[in-house]
Structure 1
Amino acid sequence: MTLSSVRIITDDIKRLVNFYEIALGAKFTWFTDDFAELKTSRAALAIGSTRTLAFFGETPIAVPASNRSVIIEFQVDNVDEQYPAVADIAGKDVVQVPTTMPWGNRSLLFRDPDGNLVNLFTPVSQEAQKRFE
């Protein structure tokens, strides 16, 4: 099995894609005005507008800006180097400045404009680095 992507549904796709492009320092590919995707070596982060939900049926299946249980995580080369850009765009929504966690990752936690929790991390201990080889 392979995890292909995580998709965020939003009311303001342009705002959210712009936020992630700045925070991650990477460009999304736009497939339509309602769908964009950032491919990584392991999976993708997809962002879709609420208009894309109509293709799945009539009943409400996703509610934008209501997540409080999922953390979207990105392994980055150096979380400390990315912190200034994240702090600039996330501002008061930085939850945790870069901190070395007990399991060996250096992590930066922040919320995107829709309130989704995002973790940028860099494995720094030998054990953590081995997990991601």
Structure 2
Amino acid sequence: MATTDRYASVRYVVDDVPAAVDFYTTHLGFRLNSSAGSAFADVVRGPLRLLLSGPASSGARATPDDATTPGRNRIHLVVDDLDAEIDRLRGAGLSFRGDPVSGPGGRQVLLADPAGNLIELFQPAHS
């Protein structure tokens, strides 16, 4: 398979595209790449292109009827200082899905976008 895009893309189905765009651009450092109003937008952070598909988008219509809730899948964003990010995002009124957890590779915490899609903020362990 030939690589034709410089981005790795992930699709999240959302119920409110403008709210999702605001969430990702305001709080997580994404920039708006393109938008089709309330149907679709894509936002970019580094090599990640996040496709935000609203109910009227073809991506949302292709979703099976029984896949209506988010699973355990999530995007993974590396941060330099997890505690500082938690403080910053809590200060902006966001809440987290549990407390930070530590493992051999580092520390992480989960939050959800306005549609309930998960985002993992991850601080690698120092070598």
| TM-score normalised over the length of structure 2 | 0.73
Number of matched residues?
120
Q: Which residues of structure 2 form unaligned runs of 5+?
A: none
User: Contact 1:76–1:122 at 8 Å: present in 2 too?
Assistant: yes
Q: Which residue of 2 aligns with 1:46?
A: 51
Amino acid at match of 1:4: A
- Is 1:66–2:89 an aligned residue pair? no
- 1: CA distance, partners of 2:88 / 2:64: 30
Alpha-carbon deviation of 1:13? Answer: 0.5
Matched, 1:6 2:10: yes
Change (3 A) 1:62 1:19: farther
Between the aligned residues of both structures, percent identity stands at 26
Within-5 A mapping of 1:44-123:
44-53=49-58, 60-61=62-63, 66-87=69-90, 88-91=92-95, 94-99=96-101, 101-123=102-124
Q: Please state which structure has a larger fraction of its residues in helix.
A: 1
TM-score by length of 1: 0.71
In the superposition, relative to structure 1, how do residues 62 and 103 fare at CA in structure 2: closer, same or farther (>3 Å)?
farther
Kindly report structure 1 stretches of 4+ aligned residues shifted beyond 6 Å.
Answer: none
Instruction: Please give the alpha-carbon distance, in whole angstroms, between the structure 1 residues aligned to 2:93 and 2:30.
Output: 14
User: Does 1:23 find its partner at 2:24?
Assistant: no
The residue matched to 1:114 in structure 2 has which SS? coil
- SS of residue in 2 equivalent to 1:17: helix
- Over the residues paired in the alignment, what is the CA RMSD in angstroms? 2.8
**Post-superposition shift, 1:77?**
2.7
1:29 partner letter:
N
Query: Structure 1 residues 10-19 or 21-30, which shifts more?
Result: 21-30
Counterparts in 2 of 1:32-43, with a 5 A limit?
32-33=36-37, 34-43=39-48
- In structure 1, list runs of 5 or more residues that go unmatched: 127-133
SS at match of 2:53: strand
